Structure 1
Amino acid sequence: MTEPGQATFDVENIVYSSQIMTWKTPLGYPEHTIEEDAVLHKVYANTMQPSKVLPYYFKAVREFDPESVTITTLITFDRYPIFSKLVTNYQGPISVTIHVNDDENRDENLSKLHEMYNANPYMREFVDVHVVVDKFDRQFNMWRNVARFFARSNYFMMLDVDFHVCTNLQRHLSLDPKAREVMRLGAAVVLPAFEYVEQDEGIDAATFPKNKDALIRLVNEKRISIFHDFFPKGHNSTDYEQWYTSEDVYKVTAYQHSYEPYAILKKEGTPWCDERFIGYGANKAACLFEIYISGIDYYVLPQDFVIHQSHPYKEETRKQERKYNRKLYQNFQEEVCFRYARSFLETNQWDQPKAENLKQQCNKIRGFKQVMAQFAGAMG
């Protein structure tokens, strides 16, 4: 990069290309070394390829508490302003993947990235920026995985950049021993999601309610509603009626496969998002489905919530991509069910609580019980 003025960017010769990763081996054998690019291309092998992954393009100067929650998110250059607002509001660790199209506007968009980063002092303090350069739009799950892979705390929250964390989340978690315990044990904790009924009211996050009581007043006034209440399957499993009166963490008991909450998860032991999902539709639901099937339960935080910041959607693009991903997701559910079921059988966990989520969901698949009986019989 060159400063000031327009940036220049050589994808092939950027400094990360010459970086070497080293593994120490036991018993005095020679160390194993490999170029970082080769490692990252293997990690993200299910993406469209080739993609240039630049970890820590900018790295926060702070050393983060391992028990803190890192927001992991993804943006393109047109979302820089709203991302800056998120950084200012959260003032905690954030790991963001920024996609830059490898086209004639690449260098200009990288210059805009530098301008955004330098314009907000909280960026340098709290944000790790990872850049992905390629010609493929909307590889959302791949971008999510990059942000999570390089997050520097034990917990991460998958959050869309256009959502505003309205409460003092870190403080509430520090004061809630039950929430911390379920997180420590590997469960996910959910922040209920809302949006303004009149989209013009949802533009300025500075006007959003900052606590549960203020939020409920706006809900009762019908100014705020459940996020995307026209598609109740997306968030109804949170059980909003229970949340309005709850003072304690409670378990999600009515999970279904379209559920896609905003959740905090443990970095280690949580399945990764499947990178075959390209474009809008089902990408996050598929990720959260596999997490649930793997044996991770969802719990809802009693005081914290997020609100969507209004913006226009590319509806025609979203409509077409949803159609393609709907079929992929149907096949993916069956694949995940059989893959984890076989794993549970082979590791003697089929009759353990870890397999209950899978049985609850996968028994709905035609023929699943019969196939599993055959598996169990073949394994003795």
Structure 2
Amino acid sequence: GSDGSPQWGTSAEDRDPPGGDRSNHTACPKQRTVHKCELLHVAIVCAGHNASRDVVTLVKSILFHRKNPLHFHFITDSVAHQILQTLFQSWMVPSVHVSFYNADDLKPEVSWIPNKHYSGIYGLMKLTLTKALPSNLSKVIVLDTDITFATDIAELWAVFGKFSEKQVIGLVENQSDWYLGNLWKNHKPWPALGRGFNTGVILLLLDRLRHLGWEQMWRLTAERELMNMLSTSLADQDIFNAVIKQDPSLVYRLPCFWNVQLSDHTRSEQCYTELSDLKVIHWNSPKKLRVKNKHVEFFRNLYLTFLEYDGNLLRRELFGCVRLTVTLPPTLQQALEELDEDDPCYDFRQQHLMQHRIHLFFLQYEFLALPNPTDVTLVAQLSMDRLQMLEAICKHWAGPISLALYMSDAEAQQFLRYAQASEVLSARRNVAYHIVYKEGQFYPINLLRNVALANTQTPYVFLTDIDFLPMYGLYDYLRNSIQQLELPQRKAALIVPAFETLHYRLTFPKSKAELLSMLDMGSLYTFRYHVWPKGHAPTDYAKWRTATVPYRVAWQPDFEPYVVVRRDCPKYDQRFVGFGWNKVSHIMELDAQEYELLVLPNAFMIHMPHAPSFDISKFRLSAGYRGCLQTLREEFHQDLSRRYGAAALKYLTAERSL
């Protein structure tokens, strides 16, 4: 092991010497360790948004301590599959493999069992693993999502080497009194051996179980017990225990520190005499951290450590093992190799190529079964300092919203608490929050927009910024406009005119007439009128004042309106990071693709005041920053010319005449 002793496999020579003679050993018994490059397999059933969030904390705790390649086998519903697949693809941890198995395919195996447990049908899926997992997989560690590792999982894997010929399942004894049947009057638990076993952590010898006919075994047991029990209370745990009660020789009793169960009625404190013996903590109650237990502070801190731990730090190589993971896409690999560290814009180019970890649908979100052909999603991005805008936007916009949030792991947890505590946000099920984890020194604004855009479900999107409040009723007005202008039949971008206020407390105008009188009184302005009129001048506010029907405007240099377009519009150009040119380039590309630009006569949005962002301050103070932006603009123009040919020439001439 790590003390320089030889590595031990789990072969026959790895048994204690006959008679247990340890005279030539230190006081420490010899640890069975695992070969350092042996691949360890872990199976987890994970369904829905909340379990997907929990499982990340579990995975972080495993990755933090591990020294071996790992293969995670996830049995998921479609929600968890999408979330976890994107998360692992973008996380790119070396020597970590991930496979997914569709829980829907396994439902028929267990749906006949009535189950009262809050985990529902997914709580029974662990029974099906011999069938669900690949037939050549011989052993696996099975974990619940509410588990935290305090040690290297290889130590647990090594315990397989202690199984006798007959043993096929490794489990820790239950630390609650549930199976003793005396918790309340008429409490009748399922049959179990003594206190029974907890199935939050299971070692399964799959090949032996298949050989024994495990499927038949648990089914017959469940059918027999259900005749008088009628349903399970603890899902798979009841059935595992009933099988073991019939044949106790199947079970290897794991030491209790491999599954220290924290809930309100457990004897978990009797399990560990000293805290140094803690290896796995199991929060087996939905109440999670509010447990009455004298060491609960210690446990809570351990859990919070991984909850808020920067997952980027876990992308470390395993030394001395062949790399088993998918490497970067070849084009990205090549681009990274071509980076020149002496290039004054090196930092910008590096940020553009950075692979950010992405956790989609961080909170509960209800997918639309069949979106209406004119439906539209509000799309925006934000970081922690703009969080307070969310409630106001939700009050102004009833339709679906897709947001990308740029945050650290710790900030994502603050955001979670904020959203759960907010009456406005917690009542909404049509707001999708996608976390893009912080990395690098520039704000990857266009990557964020693309993540929010790519994860919308309606045919149309309203591309806006988080510090704008849409007028009341804009959602309905846009859907009507899409229909009346027959947008599905044409290539058009609808412009929502932008205004701004310098007052933090604004009486929001209820109508265009009210907005115009505020404009005349000087309590509102056209957007960026003081600092950057070119960005919105082509909207032609003078014409808008009296317009009653949509009117067409021409593209002009630096135009950056907020638009409604089809969801399959061009993506934002991700080379633009931080401040400057991130929207301008997008509108230019819409124009190059010959989108009509149509201004809506009765739509408006108002920019609310806020402190300047960190990136705009850097931009204003740094000549180098501005120089690199200019370089990136020129490269963008060249790319446009390559893609759109002569049509793109006007952008270059416009640029030169400025």
TM-score by length of 2: 0.45
Uncovered stretches (5+) of structure 1, i.e. residues with no partner: 23-34, 343-354, 367-380
Q: Which one of 579, 586, 590 corresponds to residue 280 of structure 1? A: 579
Could you tell me which residue of structure 1 aligns to residue 591 of structure 2? 292
Q: Which one of 499, 508, 512 corresponds to residue 212 of structure 1? A: 512
Could you tell me which residue of structure 2 aligns to residue 373 of structure 1? none
Q: Which one of 157, 162, 184 corresponds to residue 467 of structure 2? A: 162
Deviates more, 1:324-333 or 1:7-16: 7-16
Report the Cα offset of residue 9 of structure 1: 7.8
Q: Does the Cα contact within 8 Å between 1:19 and 1:36 map onto a contact in 2?
A: no
Could you tell me which residue of structure 1 aligns to residue 433 of structure 2? 129
TM-align CA RMSD: 3.4
1:210 alignment partner, SS class: coil
Report the Cα offset of residue 179 of structure 1: 5.3
Could you tell me which residue of structure 1 aligns to residue 257 of structure 2? none
1:56 alignment partner, SS class: coil
Deviates more, 1:211-220 or 1:87-96: 87-96
2:465 is matched by which residue type in structure 1? D
1:131 alignment partner, SS class: strand
Q: Does the Cα contact within 8 Å between 1:20 and 1:36 map onto a contact in 2?
A: no
Q: Pick closer, same or farther for the CA change 1:52–1:19 going to 2, 3 Å.
A: farther
Report the Cα offset of residue 210 of structure 1: 2.2
Q: Pick closer, same or farther for the CA change 1:53–1:363 going to 2, 3 Å.
A: same
Rg bigger for which structure? 2
Per-residue CA shift, 1:218-241, capped at 9, x if unaligned? 111122111111311100010110
Could you tell me which residue of structure 2 aligns to residue 69 of structure 1? 376
Report the Cα offset of residue 284 of structure 1: 1.1
* Alignment partners' CA distance in 2, 1:257 and 1:38: 37
TM-score by length of 1: 0.75
* Aligned ranges 1:195-344 → 2 under 5 Å: 195-196=500-501, 199=502, 201=503, 203-204=504-505, 207-230=507-530, 231-253=532-554, 255-268=555-568, 270-314=569-613, 315-319=616-620, 320=622, 321-341=625-645
* Alignment partners' CA distance in 2, 1:37 and 1:156: 34
Give the aligned length: 324
Report the Cα offset of residue 68 of structure 1: 1.2
2:381 is matched by which residue type in structure 1? L
Per-residue CA shift, 1:209-263, capped at 9, x if unaligned? 121100000111122111111311100010110000000001112x212011111
1:301 is matched by which residue type in structure 2? L
1:92 aligns with 2:396: no
* Alignment partners' CA distance in 1, 2:436 and 2:327: 12
2:635 alignment partner, SS class: helix
Q: Does the Cα contact within 8 Å between 2:389 and 2:466 map onto a contact in 1?
A: yes
Q: Does the Cα contact within 8 Å between 1:71 and 1:95 map onto a contact in 2?
A: yes
Q: Does the Cα contact within 8 Å between 2:394 and 2:424 map onto a contact in 1?
A: no
Q: Does the Cα contact within 8 Å between 1:179 and 1:189 map onto a contact in 2?
A: no
Q: Pick closer, same or farther for the CA change 1:333–1:291 going to 2, 3 Å.
A: same
Report the Cα offset of residue 50 of structure 1: 2.6
What percent of counterpart residues are identical? Answer: 25
Q: Does the Cα contact within 8 Å between 1:187 and 1:297 map onto a contact in 2?
A: yes
2:361 is matched by which residue type in structure 1? Y
1:263 alignment partner, SS class: strand
Report the Cα offset of residue 21 of structure 1: 11
2:387 alignment partner, SS class: helix
Q: Pick closer, same or farther for the CA change 1:271–1:19 going to 2, 3 Å.
A: farther
1:273 alignment partner, SS class: coil
Q: Pick closer, same or farther for the CA change 1:361–1:15 going to 2, 3 Å.
A: closer
Q: Does the Cα contact within 8 Å between 2:495 and 2:562 map onto a contact in 1?
A: yes
Q: Pick closer, same or farther for the CA change 1:54–1:174 going to 2, 3 Å.
A: closer
Q: Pick closer, same or farther for the CA change 1:317–1:127 going to 2, 3 Å.
A: same
Report the Cα offset of residue 37 of structure 1: 11
1:294 is matched by which residue type in structure 2? Q
